[in-house]
Structure 1
Amino acid sequence: MTGHGDRAFLEEMLAPLGGVALRRMFGGLGLFRDGLMFGLVARDVLYFKAAPDETAAFAAEGGAPFSYATRDGRTTTIASYWRAPERLNDDPEEFLLWARRACAAAEGADRVKPAGRRKARVV
C-alpha cells in the first residue's frame, strides 16, 4: 500500500491530531479519534466522514461516496464517507484540515444520535 492506504503514512499524517487509532476492519482500516470513526480505508483508498453540507467539496475534487458490492450483486453506498482527494498526499497541512473536518463531521453525527447510542466522550 502507498499513499492514503499505507498505515505508516496515515499514522504519520494524522499524528498531529492526537488520539487517533487505526483499527483493522473488513480487510481495510477504520480511522478513529476519541472513539468516533472519522475515516476508513478500503481497497487502498481513503474515505473521510463528510457532513451533509460538505459533500459538494468532495465532489468538486472528483470524490465519490464510499460504496461496496453485496453478495446479491447490489451496490450499497454509504454517503457519509467520501473519497479523499489524492492531492492531500503531498500537502500535510491540507491533509490535516480535511481530517479535522472529518472529525468534526463524526462529532456532529454523534450529537444527533439518541442519547443511548452516543459514544462516551473522553475528556
Structure 2
Amino acid sequence: MAANAEFVSYIKEQLAPLGFLSSGSFFGGQAINYHGHQFAWVIGSTLYLRVNDITRPDFEAAGAQPFKYNTKKGKITVRKFYTAPEFLLDDPEQLLSWSRRAIEATSES
C-alpha cells in the first residue's frame, strides 16, 4: 500500500521542529529520515516509529503493533517498527517526544 500523500505532508509538518529531515520511498511507503537515519515510516495512513528494546515496552503498553506483512511462506513481523500510538497524532508535543526516542533507537542499527 502506498503512502497517503496528504498524511505524509501532515506528519512532516508536525515533525519539522526536529530539524533536518529527508524522505524517500521505502517498502511501498514513505521513509522519514533524520540526518540519514530512518526513524519513521508511513504506509497508507499509518505512521510507524523505530523502536528498540528500551522503547518497545512503551509502544506495546500504548497498544501499538509491530509492522507485519504476508509472504507466500507466511506472515513476517518486523519488530524494529511499531505503529505510532493514536494519541500521538493529536498531540504534537508527544509526537515529537516519541519521535526523538525513535531517532535515538536508530543508533542501534
TM-score by length of 2: 0.89
**Unaligned regions of 5+ residues in structure 1, if any?**
111-123
Q: Is the 8 A contact 1:52 1:80 kept in 2?
A: no
Deviating runs (4+, > 4 A) in structure 1? none
TM-score by length of 1: 0.79
Amino acid at match of 2:14: M
Give 1 or 2: higher strand fraction: 2
Which range is displaced more, 19-28 or 74-83?
19-28
What is aligned with 1:33?
34
Q: Secondary structure of 1:102's match?
A: helix
Kindly name which structure, 1 or 2, has the bigger radius of gyration based on alpha carbons: 1
Q: How many residues align?
A: 106
Identity %: 34
For residues 1-123 of structure 1, what are the structure 2 equivalents within 5 Å? Answer: 1=4, 6-70=7-71, 72-107=72-107, 109-110=108-109
**Unaligned regions of 5+ residues in structure 2, if any?**
none
Classify 1:32/1:91 alpha carbon distance in 2 versus 1 (closer, same or farther; 3 Å): same
What is aligned with 1:118?
none
